[in-house]
Amino acid sequence: DGGITQSPKYLFRKEGQNVTLSCEQNLNHDAMYWYRQDPGQGLRLIYYSQIVNDFQKGDIAEGYSVSREKKESFPLTVTSAQKNPTAFYLCASNPTGTGPGGTQYFGPGTRLLVL
């Protein structure tokens, strides 16, 4: 059963705490992406990776970090520097590493809440 899995479904963060959101795909896609979804703001790109061991900042990377050690995994860490982390986080992947043509496939999302 191919697809993108994200865990956990809900995550609670305390002040000053770093938390890591998991994203795994078994679609053999090269490129992976993290978006943040806020009401009325659509999806905004946090980080993306077009190939293993390489990633680039998106439009709102401050307060976040990522790694891409394996093709199938792209975890996102929300650091204590992110002052407004409460949001719905979506992971996506697409089958082409560069250039157009890759329809992005999305995971079910993780909702992060601050205690």
Partner 1 sequence: AQSVSQHNHHVILSEAASLELGCNYSYGGTVNLFWYVQYPGQHLQLLLKYFSGDPLVKGIKGFEAEFIKSKFSFNLRKPSVQWSDTAEYFCALLGGGNKLTFGTGTQLKVEL
Q: Residue numbers of the site for partner 1 (CB under 8 A)? A: 31, 33, 35, 40-45, 48, 50, 56, 58, 90, 92, 94, 96-104, 106-109
Q: In the bound complex, what is the minimum distance in angstroms from residue 38's beta carbon to partner 1?
A: 9
Q: In the bound complex, what is the minimum distance in angstroms from residue 103's beta carbon to partner 1?
A: 5
Name which of 2 and 40 has its Cβ closer to partner 1. 40
Angstrom CA distances, 57 to 54, 62, 106, stand at 11, 9, 19
Q: In the bound complex, what is the minimum distance in angstroms from residue 56's beta carbon to partner 1?
A: 7
Name which of 50 and 82 has its Cβ closer to partner 1. 50
Beta-carbon contacts of 5 under 8 Å, excluding residues fewer than 6 positions away, are 22, 23, 24, 25, 107, 108
Name which of 80 and 88 has its Cβ closer to partner 1. 88
Q: In the bound complex, what is the minimum distance in angstroms from residue 64's beta carbon to partner 1?
A: 16
Burial state string for 85-110 with b = 16 or more CB within 10 A and e = fewer than 16: bebebbbbbbeeeeeeebebbebebb
**Residues 72, 84: Cα–Cα separation, whole Å:** 28
Name which of 2 and 16 has its Cβ closer to partner 1. 2
Token pair for 7: 């865990």
